Amino acid sequence: MRLPFGCGGAGTAQEGSAEESGLAAADWTVDRKAIQLRMMPGDWAGSTLLAKAGTSAKWEAVEGFWIPYPWLGSETCPAVQTDPLQTGSSPASPQTLGIAAVFEAGGSRLGRRNGRAYEYTVHATDEAPLTWPKAGFRMVLEGRVTAFPNDKAIACRAAGPDQRPVCIVAAHLDRVAFEESDGSTLGEWRPG
């Protein structure tokens, strides 16, 4: 799965800040000579939604990744069309779909972030100053879907009958990476 981010430039609100857990973010460094890519997985082990799926006894850690544009069928930044009748900006939609990287109790600790972010710094490759890429960046999640302890791969919960549900997919991740929009790998992490 390739998740676009950094689409609207540095620190765009719809993609969250670097401190927001579970969302990839991109921003200029203080000196504006490099771009810092960062993604802090959320600690979802104590989530009410996952507790309902019976995770507390079986899984020692659950690290969460939000999918910021689940309604798009594209791995690239969404095209933004402005509405001339709308004044001001509309608030970002809440996150509704996530991937839960799961780690079984007593299992290998390789691949766990344990509160550490995935980070990569993009530097200029020549003497020219670095410019923000128009097509942003992508975060890659590779792995396989697994089942929650209740034998279901997806757990969903809604606050009420007229609210969109929040759904989480259980997965074992084999690779996490940051890519440029053309698909070239900037940095990657694999367990082991």
pLDDT tens figures, 126-172: 788 888 998 899 999 999 999 888 888 998 988 888 888 999 999 99
What are the φ and ψ backbone dihedral angles of 117, each rounded to 5 degrees?
-85, 155
What gap in Å lies between CA 75 and CA 5, rounded to an integer?
Answer: 10
Amino acid identity of 7? Answer: C
Task: Return the domain boundaries, the chain.
Answer: 2-74+93-189
Q: How far apart are CA 170 and CA 156, in angstroms?
A: 11
Q: How far is CA 188 from the centre of its chain?
A: 14
Report the Cα 81 to chain-centroid distance in Å.
24
DSSP output for 36-56: EEEE--EE-TT-HHHHHTTHH
Q: Work out the pLDDT band at 56, boundaries 50, 70, 90.
A: low
Q: Residue 15's pLDDT is what? A: 45
Q: Are 140 and 179 in contact (CB under 8 A)?
A: yes
